[in-house]
Amino acid sequence: MLYPILTPSRLLSDLSGVWDFKLDNGEGFDQEWYKAPLEDPMTMPVPASYNDLKEGIDFRDHYGWVFYQRKISMPSFVKTQRVMLRCAAVTHYAKIYLNGELICEHKGGFLPFEVEITEKLQDGDNLLTIAVNNVIDYTTLPIGGKSNMMNGMGGFGSSSSAKPQNNPNFDFFNYCGITRPVKIYTTPKDYIEDITLVPEVSGTTARVSYKVDTVGTGDCKVEVFDKEGNLVAQGQGTQGVLEIENVHLWQPLKAYLYDVKVTFGEDVYTLPYGVRTVRVEGTRFLINERPFYFKGYGRHEDTFPNGRGMNLPMNTKDMSLMKWQGANSFRTSHYPYSEEMMRLCDEEGFVVIDETTAVGVNLDFGGGANFNGQKVSTFDKEHGVQTQEHHKDVIRDLISRDKNHACVVMWSIANEPDSYSEGAYDYFAPLYELARELDPQKRPCTLVSVQMAPPEKDCSAKLSDVICLNRYYGWYFGGPDLELPEQALRKELDYWKTIGKPVVFTEYGADTVMGMHDTTPVMYTEEFQVEYYKMNNKVFDDYDFVVGEQVWNFADFATSQSLLRVQGNKKGIFTRDRKPKLVAHYFRDRWHKIPDFEYKK
């Protein structure tokens, strides 16, 4: 899927701004709110999560549908064009109405979708309504459930007739709404539908195979320009090979992007593109044939009051802070990030592990799920998760969107799933197979393993090209003591050594309250956080097959309310407003001493 841009043949209109908005407590569809202007609406910015933008717990924790609405009008000359309405992300389910007519539905809250509206537009104003549902259950990704309990607790005072609430099976807040831009773009009737680029490098020469998907008739030409605007390669037809002499490779933190200009008939599209190679060899992760070491973070798209809404200033600040520290990578935990962020990573040279929305695919969390008093396994045919087909759709959409990004070096199929119980292999094996089939660059695939997964039963050991581990030795497991957790961590790594694959630690961390200090490093102090990381990093350095460390988390972030979370998760190296904790300086010193390549020869 191509990112919408303004070109000599394409118009682009961004519908970002203040929309009308209304919570639906069950009457919206019965009363057909989508057929007329909303009565007594609130104002709501788009893009943004709505949860923190109005006051009251009923608003923040609203369960179910909300309605967004605005009027749009298009110039008359676009009638000769193909007109598309595109939503970059609507969390989690969307119904789109134009002038009262349902024109599109979409499941999944973190990837783009679009619909042609050429024949649906009227002269003058058109009423655009987007109904958004935030309900999560055993069929959605991420996974959740419905709770009818008072304040999340059963017992005296609880009632099955209480107001329903989402019960996320994951540890971050269920922000919802139109979280990324809504745009209208046009193309000629004969148009470029998609572009696929696959690089091969030999010495100083790159051979980039290309395929242009088109609709209609016309001649196709592909041209490659360097940063100075010089034509360095060209091809004719919808398929071929572009040969670039004296190629400038896209390197971690030293990005170089070419402009690939495609012309098909009257349609023109330019794609920024970085040439680089990625593969796994033994226990090494190779970028441009050099062994790479991941330094960086698991993150969240989480700011106040935007929630998970796109925040370009904060994205820019985060890049600056990570570069200040010497970080070179992050994982899009636990969902695909905005297209704008991915393009920024291409430009800045950040390496990305690109993750699907599959978080919470594990019914062992919180003591396990049950049905009528009987424990239910994650992949129980009748009562377990029912997500595999949707999971496949997410993988298709993710790879379609991100396949050409130089920054993306690995696909993460899921975060902390049940990868060890009966049915796990049968669930995940087809997903790996699909990802490998769809990715034209054949990037490595992984699954981020939860600590409760016994290594000898973890199906990721067989399925993954790279073993990615979320481990909390010294915090959830063994804390506050650090000696025994260190021994346990070493014992586990001794096992993974026998598998013969690279290992990246994709999460490890300790909750820390900013400004909490002690002469003795006790839990939750900034001093303990430093000691925790020193212990873990010392172990990582002793194993040459450990090829990366991604700290959990870059910044403090919002979660559902619970006894374990005081205003969210405090494992951030920075506060939610990006102030550094003591450990930020520790990592700045460490990471600037660790080279991006050949750290462990």
Q: So which residues are the catalytic ones?
A: 416, 507
Strands 503-507 and 467-470: parallel
∠554-448-443 over CA atoms, to 5°?
A: 100
For 46, the token pair is: 């788009």
Pairwise CA distance, residues 228 & 233, whole Å: 14
Residue 319 β-bridge partners: none
Taking alpha carbons only, the member of 393, 313, 351 closest to residue 139 is 393
Taking alpha carbons only, the member of 346, 353, 336 closest to residue 301 is 336
Taking alpha carbons only, the member of 333, 334, 331, 340 closest to residue 311 is 340
Pairwise CA distance, residues 87 & 96, whole Å: 10
Phi (first) and psi of residue 339, to 5 degrees:
-60, -35
DSSP-assigned states of every residue in 345-410: HHHHT-EEEEE-S-B---TTGGG-EEETTEEE-TT-TTTS---HHHHHHHHHHHHHHHTT-TTEEE
Q: Is 597 helix (H, G, I), strand (E, B) or coil?
A: strand
Pairwise CA distance, residues 502 & 25, whole Å: 50
Beta strand segments in 79-229, E: 82-87, 90-91, 93-98, 101-107, 113-116, 126-133, 144-147, 165-168, 177-178, 182-187, 191-202, 205-215, 220-225
For 14, the token pair is: 């961004």
The residues near 581 (Cβ < 8 Å, ≥ 6 apart) are 512, 514, 526, 529, 572, 573, 574, 575
Cβ atoms < 10 Å from Cβ of 124:
8
Pairwise CA distance, residues 141 & 358, whole Å: 5
For 489, the token pair is: 């961590």
- Residue 315's H or E segment, with its range, is helix 312-325
The residues near 186 (Cβ < 8 Å, ≥ 6 apart) are 10, 11, 12, 78, 81, 82, 83, 84
Strands 546-552 and 177-178: unpaired
**CB environment 27-65: b (16+ within 10 A), e (fewer):** ebeeeebbeeebeeeeebbbbbbbbbbbeeeeebbbbeb
Pairwise CA distance, residues 410 & 276, whole Å: 13
**CB environment 356-373: b (16+ within 10 A), e (fewer):** bbbbbbbbbbeeebeeee
